Amino acid sequence: MGRAVRRMRGYLGELIHRKRGELGDDLISGLIRASDQGEQLSEDEAASMAFILLFAGFETTVNLIGNGMLALLRNPAELARLRDAVVAGDEALLGTAVEELLRYDGPVELATWRFASEPLTLGGARVERGDPVLVVLAAADRDPARFAAPDVLDLGRADNPHLGYGHGIHYCLGAPLARLEARTALATVLRRLPDVRLAVEPGELRWRGGLIMRGLRTLPVAFTPEGDGSSPRW
């Protein structure tokens, strides 16, 4: 993982250096312009910003949409419920659906590392000063002491204080954008592909492993093109 991070940082640094000579209408060029106009971003800082945007602003939302779509496809009654709401223009259910999909199978399994500032006992385990502590967000979002029927997908769940975007001072700054992207993507799929369904058995799906993120490698689906009586495509 360390090697991969270093290679990515090296690639982004080279990209920013190259972009300085060929600015365009893109995000990296925007970062360079901001630096040149007085924001005082070094190339290393700009590369760090690009890395965070890629990791926190792209990977998370892609996996939210993929995981969420799979959860819907595996729960046909809830899928039909949301599809009917989208067709009827029910924005309220679309909003609670995104929150429930974040709780049910969110893209971020673990919080970033914390380190104990003093010795303590946590959950019956001794933690010494300086020890790393990993918070498993996915487990917290399935906590039966907090959520009724935690393993059930309920798109209308009202009491849903999930940790998909973190909490407190660590709450995700991009949460409003991620919500908008997920709502737009899911609504568009359900409107355009009303009979969308899995094209493989769930056990055939493959997941991308990692220390924090959880997402599908691919999500094969079948659907009938609108206005076309041909066989389903996938």
Say yes or no to pLDDT of 229 above 90: no
Q: How far is CA 7 from the centre of its chain?
A: 23
Q: Is pLDDT larger for residue 173 or for residue 85?
A: 85
Q: Name the band, by pLDDT with cuts 50, 70 and 90, for residue 233.
A: low
* 126/193 Cα distance (integer angstroms): 52
Question: What is the average per-residue pLDDT within 22-41?
Answer: 78
Judge whether 10 lies within some domain.
Answer: yes
Name 40's Cβ contacts closer than 8 Å, sequence gap at least 6.
none
**What pLDDT is stored for residue 228 in this prediction?**
53
Domain range spanning residue 11? 1-41
50 and 33 within one domain = no
Tell whether the model's pLDDT for residue 88 goes beyond 80.
yes
Position 227 pLDDT exceeds 70: no
Q: How many domains does the chain have?
A: 2
pTM comes to: 0.82
Residues 138-186: tens digit of each pLDDT: 999 999 999 999 999 999 999 999 999 988 888 888 899 999 999 999 9
Rounded to whole angstroms, the Cα distance separating 190 from 179 reads 17
Whether residues 206 and 165 fall in one domain? yes
| Res. 75 pLDDT band, cuts 50 70 90 | very high
For residues 49 and 108, membership in a common domain is answered with yes
Q: What is the pLDDT of residue 234?
A: 53
Residue 118 CA to its chain's centroid (Å): 33
Domain assignment present for residue 232? The answer is no
Report the CATH number that the domain containing residue 104 is assigned in CATH: 1.10.630.10
Mean pLDDT value of segment 65-87:
97
- pLDDT, average across residues 4-18: 87
Task: Name the pLDDT band for 230 (thresholds 50, 70, 90).
Answer: low
In 3D space, the residue among 53, 8, 9, 11 whose CA is nearest the CA of residue 31 turns out to be: 53
Give the pLDDT confidence of 174-222 residue by residue, as tens digits. 899 999 999 999 999 999 999 999 999 999 999 987 667 889 999 999 9
Give pLDDT tens digits for 101-139: 999 999 999 888 889 999 999 889 999 999 999 889 999
Average pLDDT estimate for 34-45: 71
In a domain, 227, yes or no: no
- Residue 91: CB partners within 8 Å, gap ≥ 6? none
DSSP track, 146-172? TSSSTTS--TT-S-----TT--GGG--
Query: Which comes out higher in pLDDT, residue 190 or 228?
Result: 190
Res 40: pLDDT: 66
Please indicate, yes or no, if residue 229 is contained in any of the structural domains. no
Residue 74: inside a domain = yes
Tokens of 188: 């568009």
Q: Are residues 128 and 210 located together in one domain of the fold?
A: yes
